[in-house]
């Protein structure tokens, strides 16, 4: 049985400042918990209302699970893992950077796309939504266990980046006509404002995804949709 004190500690992990203070984060769902467990992330505890195989766990009641879940419909499995230091980038392939992303669902989807297309390193500017936000974790479907996600002063990082810097903008060159050279990094912007002026000035090349629409009602693509299209090109 979980004590009131332990329940409070777990619920506080919904807050970024407490995740940073404790060095812990929550993962929910048997598949997603298994992803982190199998990728050797250090596990503090796994709680479950059901018997599960291949994982060391602590059984709790459904009532107890309802008190610690971050979901509207509790999963039968909840794990608490330790935040670990991400692997350093050796700058031999393509990486992805995002300037001030705010939506945890978008970030989670982009992390999943990085995993799908083999992009090992993702950089987000400080002030972006936290990688370990529960909604980011859920949207990434366990891909955060494999993608190295870095929070940094993006302008300072890009000034020191050794390869080509490509930025997705509305006034860029058709990405189908651009030879993207490795090592390189693709920069995407904020959901509403795009790439900030201080980052724009650091780009080697502006690229864009051309629209085939015959009307002008759609001004831009969702950032995670744009990421999927551009990363699929990089994968080729």
| Residue 55 scores a pLDDT above 90 | no
| Residue 219 scores a pLDDT above 70 | no
**pLDDT classification of 53: cutoffs 50, 70, 90:** confident
**Better-scored residue on pLDDT, 72 or 188:** 188
Indicate which CATH number applies to the domain containing 223.
3.40.1280.10
Q: Which domain holds residue 128?
A: 94-235
**pLDDT classification of 212: cutoffs 50, 70, 90:** confident
**Three-class DSSP category at 66:** helix
Phi, psi of 80 (to 5 degrees): -115, 120
**How many domains does the chain divide into?**
2
Worst-scoring range by mean pLDDT, 11-15, 51-55, 163-167?
51-55
Summary mean pLDDT of the chain: 94
Residues 32 and 130 both lie in one domain: no
Residues 45 and 153 both lie in one domain: no
Stretch 65-81: mean pLDDT, rounded?
95
Opening angle at CA 203, ends 234 and 126, nearest 5? 90
pLDDT of residue 211: 85
């Amino acid at each position: 049985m979980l004590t009131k004190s332990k329940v409070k500690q777990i619920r506080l992990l919904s807050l970024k400042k407490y995740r940073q203070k404790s060095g812990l984060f929550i993962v929910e769902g048997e598949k997603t918990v298994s992803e982190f467990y199998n990728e050797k992330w250090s596990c503090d505890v796994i709680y479950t209302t059901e018997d599960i195989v291949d994982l060391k766990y602590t059984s709790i009641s459904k009532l107890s699970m309802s008190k610690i879940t971050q979901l509207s419909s509790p999963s039968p499995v909840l794990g608490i893992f330790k935040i670990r230091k991400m692997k350093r980038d050796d700058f031999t392939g393509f990486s992805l950077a995002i300037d001030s992303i705010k939506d945890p669902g978008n970030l989670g989807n982009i992390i999943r796309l990085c995993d799908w297309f083999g992009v090992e390193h993702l950089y987000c500017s400080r002030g972006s939504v936290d990688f370990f936000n529960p909604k980011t974790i859920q949207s990434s479907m366990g891909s955060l266990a494999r993608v190295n996600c870095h929070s940094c002063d993006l302008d300072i990082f890009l000034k020191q980046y050794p390869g080509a810097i490509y930025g997705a903008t509305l006034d860029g060159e058709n990405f189908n006509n651009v030879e993207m050279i490795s090592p390189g990094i693709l920069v995407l912007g904020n959901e509403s404002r795009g790439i900030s002026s201080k980052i724009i000035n650091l780009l080697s090349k502006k690229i864009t995804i051309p629209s085939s629409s015959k009307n002008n009602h759609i001004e831009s693509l969702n950032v995670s949709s744009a990421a999927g299209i551009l990363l699929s090109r990089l994968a080729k």
